[in-house]
Amino acid sequence: MGLLADGCSNDSAECALQRFELLGRNGAGANSTVFKCRDTASGAIVAVKKLEGSTVPQVRLQLPLTYLQAAIMRACAHENCVTLLEAHQGLTSGVIYLVMEHAEHSLSRELLLNPRGLPLPKAKLVIFQLASALELIHGKKVVHGDIKPANVLLTAQCNSKLCDFGSATSVVLSGGDDSTQALRTDEVSSRWYCAPESLLGAPGSAASDIWALGCILGELVTGKPLMAGGQNELDQLSCVVAMIGQLSRAQEKLLQLLPRQQRAKLEEARARGPLLDRYAGWVGA
C-alpha cells in the first residue's frame, strides 16, 4: 500500500510520495507521525515524517516551524545526524513530509534490551558520536533542544544518529533573534534530560544540550535514567538538586527567583544528596 492511500489528485507533492510503499508506523508525536516506507524507485528503506502543517506553531518571523526543521537538518548534515533526503508539502493540505534515512532502532530500545547498561566501550562510542554531532550543530549556532535516548537512532553498523529536530532553534535561520525558546514536549521523560535553566523557562542553549548528553551518559553506564523526576518542573528540579547538590552560580540565581515554599522544597531535596557520589566508582573507568 502506498503512503497516501487516497491517491495523489493534482498535488505534485502528493504525487511524488506515491512512490513510497508503506511498511509500518515507527512512532508519533504531538504534530507528527513517522512511517517506515520503501522507495519503490530505488528499493531503499526510508523513514517518512508527516507533519500537520495547519497545526504547527509559527516562529517570530512567521517562518513555519516545519520549514525551519528541514532547513536546520540541511545545515547540520553530519554522519551522526539523521540525513534528510527530501522534503515535500501538499499544496492543498499544507501537510509536510520529510523523507529521511532509516535506522534499525532507537537508543531507548537499546537500553530496554540492556537493563544493566551498555558495555562501557559501546557507551563511550555512542557519547563520542553524539558529542561529534553536537560540535557541528553548535558551531552552526543551532540548539537541538530535545536530546534524549528516544531521539537517538542506532544503525546496524553501530552508528548513532541524532534525530527529531522539531524543537531545534537557530539564531541564524530565525533572523538573528537568540531569544526564541525551543518548543518543548510535555512528556515527563523529556524533563529527565532538561537542564535546570530550561526547567525554569530560560531559552535552550548549547550548554543545555550538553547537560542532556551527560544525563544520557549516566543512563548508558547504569541502565537507568540518571535523574527521573516527577510529574512537573518543580519535582524534576528537586530530583536535580538531590542528585547534584550545589548547581552553578547562574543556575542558583535562577532558583532564588522561585517562591519561598518552592525553594524550601528544593532545599529539602538538596539535603538528601548529593546522590551523584554513588556513581563515583565509574570515574576513571
> Mean pLDDT lowest for which of 41-45, 148-152, 268-272, 281-285?
281-285
- In the annotation, is 186 catalytic? no
For residue range 103-119, what is the model confidence (pLDDT) as tens digits? 989 999 999 999 999 99
CATH code, domain with 93: 3.30.200.20
Whole-angstrom distance, CA of residue 174 vs CA of residue 55: 20
Residues 168 and 69 in one domain: no
- Does a structural domain hold residue 9? no
Cell numbers 529527565: residue:
192
Q: Which domain holds residue 86?
A: 19-101
Q: Could you check whether the bond before residue 274 is cis, i.e. omega within 30 degrees of 0?
A: yes
CATH code, domain with 137: 1.10.510.10
- Does a structural domain hold residue 184? yes
Residues 157 and 76 in one domain: no
Residues 80 and 211 in one domain: no
Residues 132 and 56 in one domain: no
For residue range 138-166, what is the model confidence (pLDDT) as tens digits? 999 999 999 999 999 999 888 999 999 98
- Out of 6, 11, 146, 186, the active site residue is 146
Q: Residue 220: CA atoms inside 13 Å, Cβ hemisphere, count?
A: 23
Structurally, how many domains does the chain consist of? 2
For residue range 167-215, what is the model confidence (pLDDT) as tens digits? 888 876 655 555 444 444 445 568 999 999 999 888 889 999 999 999 9
* 45-70 mean pLDDT: 65
Residues 255 and 145 in one domain: yes
Whole-angstrom distance, CA of residue 75 vs CA of residue 231: 35
Assign 160 to helix, strand or coil: strand
Interhelix angle 206-222/120-139, rounded to 10 degrees, is 170
Spatial contact of 238 and 265, defined as CB atoms under 8 Å apart: yes
Whole-angstrom distance, CA of residue 79 vs CA of residue 162: 9
Predicted model pTM: 0.84
